[in-house]
Structure 1
Amino acid sequence: MSVICRDLLPLKYFERIKLVAGQNGLDRTVTWPYVGQTSTVSQWVHGGELLFITGIAHSADKLADLILECIQKKLAGLVILVGNDYINSIPEELLAQADAADFPLFEMPWDVKLIDVTREITDLIMRDKFEIKKSKNFLGRLLFASDVDYRQMLDTAIINDIHLLEYKFIAVFNVSHPADEIMTDAGHDSLEDKLQHSVDSLCKEKQLPVITLVYGNNVICLASAPTQEKAAEAAAYLETVCGLLSQLYSGSNLYLSFGRPYADVEQIKISYQEAQKALLLWKKMGRSNHIVYYSQLGLYRLLFKIDDKEEIREYYHYNLGVLLQHDSKNNSELLETLRQYLYCNGNLVKTSQALFIHRNTLLYRLNQIRDLLGRDIDDALVRLELLSSIVAKDYLEE
């Protein structure tokens, strides 16, 4: 996971550096230490840097402008050197400004060697990047390698200090790019990279141990917990993360799917396959709720286990074939009408709203469906068979 401001506090050379404002922002990610040499920094930073400046030639007004600039550029925080040759203390109005924005503001005694502090932060960031790389390689091999020695993988996890708790599951964040976002400019993170970074940061804030990996349009997340109950809590938190990211990246379509939790490390791949199946099926069905659990798919889980796909095809054609033929010849929407009617438990008002049609239009279509099928679509067993057939059709077309 990424280094955050909070991780700096226990460092040897950081212990004399005092947090004076912005405590609620200590979970901001630190990408690099940067020593500012100019009165403005926007053109020199990307975001995420921890900025170090002296108080020389900085009036209170200039410092206020600089803090605002740092906040707008999404820097991790600001460290101001204080002392007789700099400024004796940071003005109260600047502390209030930083607190209001949850922007970490530190003061550093002039006699602390800046080179020691920045080198220690850099070393921490580089070690963190190395640990992240090891974790991602571990997860990638678990999921995609064809010749995995799971005993060796467990040894690798222990050697590399990769902690996997008793129950392990995969969650997949899937993102659809906005229509105007064709490709990522060189030097800029992709949307998936940004999502991964956000997931890592939010999980670290919650102290939820996860390993994430970008794969295509997916951010794959391996989470683990000591009990089934804690695994359910971890999944619920990832749902919360999905909601936050959906707001943050509102121009994109974000889905979240879950595989089941397993105790054995070799079953992590099964959990991933389950999450992928659930994701593909859910997107095909176009459900308004973008979060799906494989464990809650009901009949679809049985279909996933049937190897004879032709038998499934014959089953749904037997029950729905006449509607499919009618829709194909007449460019009608009888099958979709039946689907929504069954989804809405036969409620005419809800069905017409779901289809955006008038109630009389719905009644006309339902009469057509009854005539073509020659069956009572208000009979519970008939409804069950028709809905099962629609489910089977969706499954084969996922």
Structure 2
Amino acid sequence: MELTKREKLLQRLENHLRMTARQLVKFDTEEETLQFLIDSFRSELKCDFVGIVRKEDHLFTSKVWSGSGTTIIDHFPLKVNECSPTLLNKSLAFFKVDEHTKCNFTKLLIDKKISTWFTVPIRDGSENYGFCIIGFLNFVPLLEEMDEVFVEFGKDVAVALSLSKRKEWQKQKFKGMEWISHSLSIDNSIDQVVEKVVEGAGKGTDATFACIYLYNEKENCFVFQPPAFGTEKEAMNISVEGNYVLKKYFPYLETPGGQQLTIPLVMDLKTIGVLHVENKETGVFTKEDCEILELLSSHVATMIENARLYKNEIDHKQRLHNLLDYQQSLVKETVERDNFDGITATLSELFSRSVILFDRFMRPIAYQLFDLNEDDLQSLIELATLEVFQKKHRELFFSVDEGKKVGVWPVDGGGEILGYLAIDSTNERIDDFYRLSIDLARNISSIQFIKQKLVLDAKEHVKDSFINKLLVKEIEDEESIIQYANLFNWNLFNEHRVAVLSIHLDEQGQQIMNILEKQAKITSLWDQIKTRLLMYDKEIIIAGKGDEYILLVPADREGKNAKVFWSKLYEELSKLLKLQGDSSQLYLGIGGKTDTLKDYYVGYQQAVQALNVVSRRFSDIGFAVFDELGSYTVLHHLKDSEVAMLFIHKQLEALLQYSEGKSMDLFRTLRVYLSHNGSIKDTSEELFIHRSSLLYRLEKIQNLLHVNLDSSEDRFDLMMAYKLYDLYYTNTMKKS
């Protein structure tokens, strides 16, 4: 009687489950068993995902997963007592549950909108291993007749898992015996061991050809290991592409009855290769031949692995010896030279690759090209700069062109980044030795960076001392000042502009309670700014004076428009902080030009007061030229600062005291009102308050100060007080 389409489908599924169950018991490990199971299910059932959920104590954990639905994995582990007990005893399907079912697992599948799914319990007697989940994103009708068949199949899977556990235990038991019996053969080379093994395999099975393939973990392939026995055959490597089932690559794996036979070489539950024979002289390979090869493999796997490890050890010692030689050469370079050219040349020879050394701003300072040209170099520099500033990893790799890969590592010392090391890493095996070589290169480069920094710090100390002696009201020893200037090849009598830079830490930096840490943060920013200024213009003299940072710029650098020059310079420094991901604020005050030595002090005083003004009045601009500050330049020449302070107190003290700690800042309200020339509309818009609120505040201000804001005289006095406040109040007293 002809079978219906449904009956044929049922029969095919039953046959597949039987075949799968038979295959499962052949695997040596639980991982291989489960991997084969889910691959088999996905192949036959055409489902979207298959997962194995293991029961481990009181939790369900995702053991193996294949296909889509990976977001489900993120919700594991799940508590067993919060899931349906049916999962461990019977098959459960989507049509048997709803959102009211008290089971976190089934609710998860419903939440993820899995249209069709069913489970298969994996149980061997009283031993519950967990269950298998098979899912379809779209609706698929299920065959209810297969319910019991799948349950029985789950028992077969549990038996296979139990068997794989026993195999693993047995291999561990014999591991010690194999090691003791064959460890004395370490003096044999791997070629000698392989030659004896393949000869014994060929003669013992009457094969015309025998060989060994060893598994290379790095390359993920089986490599033909010479010599072979018998008929010459072209050597070949067998790549492992995703599927780790040996039978795919060696069809006659532990399978007698054909003209080929393959036995795995296993050590410590790990397949290190296979012993392979072909073309039996008479008949086919038998079960006895299989036992002979298994006996050989069980006794030689350790010996082969030992020989391979011994060879690797010899190679490793030689590489270490060479590395020590290069270390001595690199240390010699740091002692004899002050630059990095010798270091990059030696590193290029060590790696046989192109090497580039950058400073902390990714500016190339030395390089040695091995198989790159100058065009490649420029492209590499641009890409490396982009990668470093975007990703900020300790180690990163990127592609320059097709087939070209470059690695970049930071060079650090003293807790800060000093530079970056870039090396062509195309087709490079990144092993422990390679990383050791990279660490050596970074350490040597760090020494040279620190050596240069010490020299520069010494020069900076001398320069700071010189600047401090120059920027005083009365210069004690002009001749000494001139000698210092000659030391730095600087003509003091050329026209210069004096500027003062101030760094205000961002909110995160202000929260640092430790004063030393806060100062270290500012010093680090200043070091970066100094380096950028020297790149911007080497003629700028840079120095520190207490908490202030001094810039002395040749006047001819300003060109026809001083404000444009300083605007570009300020923008360059602000861009540097943004590039570093720092939101600290820079303020720059620019004083007048110098003609004589005494003018430097005057210019410095003007720069300080311009800095005070810009930090209070023009913080959004960030810089100000003293000569362009209007009435501020006249007020600067007041000889008696105490008179100015008395005037400020008389005009504004009541507002300062009232606004302290209050949300209604009358001090700022009056300043904005005066700056808008008494416009109620413009003032309320800038302060974001209602007109009536502003009028209330102005009335309050008039009562506190006893002034009439409609009086031009009173308003002039108040404006004068605000300008004097900007010039003479310290930063700690800043109100707006």
Match of 2:485, as an amino acid? A
3-state DSSP class of the match of 2:369? strand
Is residue 275 of structure 1 aligned with residue 591 of structure 2?
no
Check 1:350–1:177 CA distance in 2 against 1; reply closer, same or farther (3 A cut): same
Is residue 54 of structure 1 aligned with residue 382 of structure 2?
no
Q: Is the 8 A contact 2:498 2:607 kept in 1?
A: yes
Q: Is the 8 A contact 1:172 1:218 kept in 2?
A: yes
- How far, CA to CA, are the matches of 1:330 and 1:184 in structure 2? 28
- Aligned-residue sequence identity (percent) comes to 24
How many Å apart are 1:262 and its aligned residue?
Answer: 1.6
Q: Is the 8 A contact 1:165 1:225 kept in 2?
A: no
- How far, CA to CA, are the matches of 1:277 and 1:397 in structure 2? 10
How many Å apart are 1:184 and its aligned residue?
Answer: 8.6
Match of 1:381, as an amino acid? E
> Equivalent of 1:368, from 700, 716, 726?
700
Match of 1:293, as an amino acid? V
Which residue is equivalent to 1:18? Answer: none
Which residue is equivalent to 2:628? Answer: 296
Is residue 210 of structure 1 aligned with residue 558 of structure 2?
no
Which residue is equivalent to 1:79? Answer: none
Match of 1:194, as an amino acid? Q
Matches within 5 A, 1:1-398: 32-33=340-341, 34-35=344-345, 36=348, 37-38=350-351, 39=353, 47-48=362-363, 49-55=365-371, 68-69=383-384, 72=387, 138-143=466-471, 148-158=476-486, 161-164=489-492, 166-181=494-509, 183=517, 190-204=524-538, 209-215=539-545, 218-225=548-555, 233=561, 236-250=564-578, 251-285=583-617, 287-306=619-638, 308-320=640-652, 323-324=655-656, 327=659, 332-373=664-705, 375-398=707-730
Q: Is the 8 A contact 2:588 2:614 kept in 1?
A: no
- How far, CA to CA, are the matches of 1:273 and 1:387 in structure 2? 22
Q: Is the 8 A contact 1:176 1:217 kept in 2?
A: no
Q: Is the 8 A contact 1:42 1:73 kept in 2?
A: no
Match of 1:176, as an amino acid? H
Which residue is equivalent to 1:78? Answer: none
Match of 2:600, as an amino acid? I
Which residue is equivalent to 1:82? Answer: none
Check 1:130–1:278 CA distance in 2 against 1; reply closer, same or farther (3 A cut): closer
- How far, CA to CA, are the matches of 2:487 and 2:659 in structure 1? 60
Q: Is the 8 A contact 1:192 1:218 kept in 2?
A: no
How many Å apart are 1:198 and its aligned residue?
Answer: 1.0
How many Å apart are 1:237 and its aligned residue?
Answer: 1.5
Q: Is the 8 A contact 1:196 1:219 kept in 2?
A: no
How many Å apart are 1:164 and its aligned residue?
Answer: 4.3
- How far, CA to CA, are the matches of 1:231 and 1:45 in structure 2? 30
**Superposed CA offset, 1:357-390 (max 9, x none):** 2222112222333455554413333211121123
Q: Is the 8 A contact 1:349 1:359 kept in 2?
A: yes
**Superposed CA offset, 1:301-340 (max 9, x none):** 4544445444334434444455456546987433321111
**CA RMSD, aligned part only?**
4.7
3-state DSSP class of the match of 2:593? coil
- How far, CA to CA, are the matches of 1:270 and 1:304 in structure 2? 11
Match of 1:333, as an amino acid? D
TM-score (normalizing by structure 2): 0.36
- How far, CA to CA, are the matches of 2:574 and 2:653 in structure 1? 39
3-state DSSP class of the match of 1:263? coil
Match of 1:241, as an amino acid? L
3-state DSSP class of the match of 2:471? helix
**Superposed CA offset, 1:119-165 (max 9, x none):** xxx9xx99x96997576664344236976422443355346532346
Check 1:391–1:68 CA distance in 2 against 1; reply closer, same or farther (3 A cut): closer
Check 1:305–1:379 CA distance in 2 against 1; reply closer, same or farther (3 A cut): same
TM-score (normalizing by structure 1): 0.62
Check 1:340–1:131 CA distance in 2 against 1; reply closer, same or farther (3 A cut): same
3-state DSSP class of the match of 1:54? coil
Match of 1:53, as an amino acid? L
Q: Which runs of 5+ in 2 are unaligned?
A: 1-337, 390-399, 404-448, 731-736
Q: Is the 8 A contact 1:260 1:295 kept in 2?
A: yes
After TM superposition, the structure 1 stretch with the greater mean CA deviation from structure 2, 328-337 or 169-178, is 328-337
- How far, CA to CA, are the matches of 1:224 and 1:168 in structure 2? 4
- How far, CA to CA, are the matches of 1:329 and 1:71 in structure 2? 46
- How far, CA to CA, are the matches of 2:604 and 2:723 in structure 1? 22
How many Å apart are 1:291 and its aligned residue?
Answer: 0.9
Check 1:344–1:156 CA distance in 2 against 1; reply closer, same or farther (3 A cut): same
Check 1:69–1:40 CA distance in 2 against 1; reply closer, same or farther (3 A cut): farther
**Superposed CA offset, 1:277-304 (max 9, x none):** 3213432456422112223344444544
Check 1:42–1:333 CA distance in 2 against 1; reply closer, same or farther (3 A cut): same
Q: Is the 8 A contact 1:258 1:278 kept in 2?
A: yes
After TM superposition, the structure 1 stretch with the greater mean CA deviation from structure 2, 378-387 or 230-239, is 230-239
**Superposed CA offset, 1:190-220 (max 9, x none):** 110111111121124xxxx321124455432
Q: Which runs of 5+ in 1 are unaligned?
A: 1-29, 75-90, 95-121
- How far, CA to CA, are the matches of 2:603 and 2:518 in structure 1? 30
Q: Is the 8 A contact 1:334 1:365 kept in 2?
A: yes
Match of 2:534, as an amino acid? D
Q: Is the 8 A contact 2:355 2:369 kept in 1?
A: no
